[in-house]
Amino acid sequence: MLTNAPRGTNDILPDKVREWNYVEGKIRDLCRRYGYEEIRTPMFEHTELFHRGIGEGTDVVDKEMYTFEDRGGRSITLRPENTASAVRAYLQNKLYGDSSLVKLFYIGSMFRYDRPQAGRMREFHQFGIEALGEENPAVDAEVILVAIDFLKSLGLKDLALSLNSVGCPKCRPAYRKALQDYFRPYLDELCDDCKSRFDRAPLRILDCKVDADKPFMAGAPKITDCLCDECKEHFEKVQSYLTEAGVSFTLDPRLVRGLDYYTKTAFEIKYAPLGAQSAVAGGGRYDGLIEEIGGKPTPAVGFATGLERVLLALEKQNLVPPADEHTDVFVVALGDAAQAPAFKLLEDCRHAGLTANMDYAGRSMKAQMKQANKHHARYALILGEDEVKTGTVQVKDMEKSEQKSLPLADVIQTLRP
């Protein structure tokens, strides 16, 4: 029906937009303090960017992307995530020439065809950061701290950080083989998706929700046992920085993330009150992505969090502060002669920085005062024919129920904060 939004999408109505503005304000303040600058990328990209960046065989590429052919015959995809887009913008606009470390953040809509559920829609919104150009493990730790500080700034407690290393192109082949050797005897017991992953992406078997509780999964080889010296040292330093910063974490050898571009550090933050779908943020290092889409080998690390899930967590814990719904001034116009002067007074109030409104329907004094109360007005400015003639205005303090007459020319100066 034309009056229904497409399945998996939501209208964000004015009362909810206030909550979004609150969260986005926290984001911008946090990123300013950490030195991250905002980037806004297109909502759609050439499909090949996500095929090469995210990786063939991933659920995102194989099942979830919104892909279409435009009128020029080009394959276009609505962005399912923003890291690949941010990297494309970094390369296209030569941001790497500005400094060795480029720190970006974004807030925006992403699109994935999935079964809609609480906090997970087909159009969803992410906040994420990308730190490009530095391989120091201190940057990995900083990115994790930004994610934790963001969630804590909203009042969320009891956050659980899981940490792993997914290796690099030097050591991952040995681990891939170890996984294939281990899972080969259980191939018939794997779900159809994992059977197809066995040759293409055996690491992703560890991330499968269908096979997760099968007994043989617990004995799968750990990637940390296969790390090369470089990856092992990097992982140990990330842990040491987090420990020094007072951040507790749990090592999870089955944490592999869902996208191909991750190398070395991978992490996830969970918030238990959300239940089974408790993950609220995740990310890691992706040193191979920039080279994969046409740039020079460049280290990078980042994370993303779904804002719907964050807002759901805040609502469950009653952590969204009440909005200030007060209006400074409500102008009450009585009679035809007062309409134009009242309208000018309304605009003068707004130009002076006051929030102001009025009733445009020419209703009775009682009805307009009811509207003033509905708008939580601090003051009602009442103009009738007598006030127009004398150049005055009746100022009613709505909280104290006190009323006095003031010269029209002085009223704004008197009310201005």
Nearest Cα to Cα of residue 197 among 256, 252, 253, 251:
256
Single-letter residue type at 316:
K
| CATH code, domain with 352 | 3.40.50.800
pLDDT of residue 218: 84
Whether 308 and 362 map to the same domain: the answer is no
Q: Which of 262, 291, 316 is the last residue of a domain?
A: 316
The torsion of the CA quartet 86, 87, 88, 94, rounded to 10 degrees, works out to 100
Looking at the fold, whether 255 and 381 belong to one and the same domain comes out as no
Last residue of a domain, one of 316, 343, 358: 316
Per-residue CA distances from 353 to 131, 371, 376 (Å)? 39, 21, 17
Instruction: Tell me what pLDDT residue 98 has.
Output: 67
pLDDT of residue 62: 76
Domain span at 333: 327-415
pLDDT at residue 352, rounded to an integer: 94
Structural domain total, the chain = 2
In a domain, 192, yes or no: no
Same domain, 301 and 332: no
- CATH code, domain with 258: 3.30.930.10
Residue with tokens 């992505």: 289
User: What is the C-alpha separation between 189 and 152, in angstroms, rounded?
Assistant: 41
Query: Looking at the structure, do residues 292 and 358 belong to the same domain, yes or no?
Result: no
- Residue 108: predicted pLDDT: 97
Same domain, 286 and 397: no
Measure the CA–CA gap between 303 and 109, rounded to whole angstroms: 16
Q: What is the pLDDT of residues 90-147, one digit of tens each?
A: 999 999 986 789 999 999 999 999 888 777 799 999 999 999 999 999 999 999 999 9
* Residues 148 and 275 both lie in one domain: yes
Q: Is the same domain home to 312 and 410?
A: no
Reading phi first (left if > 0) and then psi (alpha if -120 to 50, else beta), residue 116 is in beta
Asked if residue 124 belongs to a domain, the reply is yes
With a cut of 50, list the residues of the chain below it in pLDDT: none
Q: How far apart are the C-alpha atoms of 399 and 377, rounded to whole Å? A: 9
- The per-residue pLDDT for range 247-268, each reduced to its tens digit, is 999 999 888 865 556 899 999 9
Residues 132 and 234 in one domain: yes
Integer-rounded Cα Rg, in Å, for the chain is: 28
According to DSSP, the residues that pair with 357 across neighbouring strands are: 330
Task: Say what the pLDDT of residue 186 is.
Answer: 87
The string over 219-241, giving b where at least 16 C-beta atoms fall within 10 Å of a residue's C-beta and e elsewhere, is ebbebbebbeeebbebbeebbeb
Q: Are 204 and 142 in contact (CB under 8 A)?
A: no
Q: 121-145: buried (b, 16+ CB within 10 Å) or exposed (e) per residue?
A: bbbbbbbbbbbbbbebbebbbbbbe
Distance of CA 202 to the CA centre of its chain: 30
- β-pairing, 159-165 with 67-69? unpaired
- Phi/psi region, residue 95 (left: phi>0; alpha: psi -120 to 50; beta: rest), is alpha
pLDDT at 241: 98
Residues 262 and 234 reside in one and the same domain: yes
Query: What is residue 185's DSSP assignment?
Result: G
- Asked if residue 251 is part of any domain, the answer here is yes
Q: Are residues 125 and 261 in the same domain?
A: yes
Paired with 46 in beta bridges are 76
pLDDT (0 to 100) of residue 258 = 55
Q: Among 316, 336, 371, which residue terminates a domain?
A: 316
| Predicted TM-score of the model (pTM) | 0.89
With respect to residue 180, please indicate whether it lies within any of the assigned structural domains.
no
Cβ-based neighbours of 363, under 8 Å, separated by 6 or more: 371
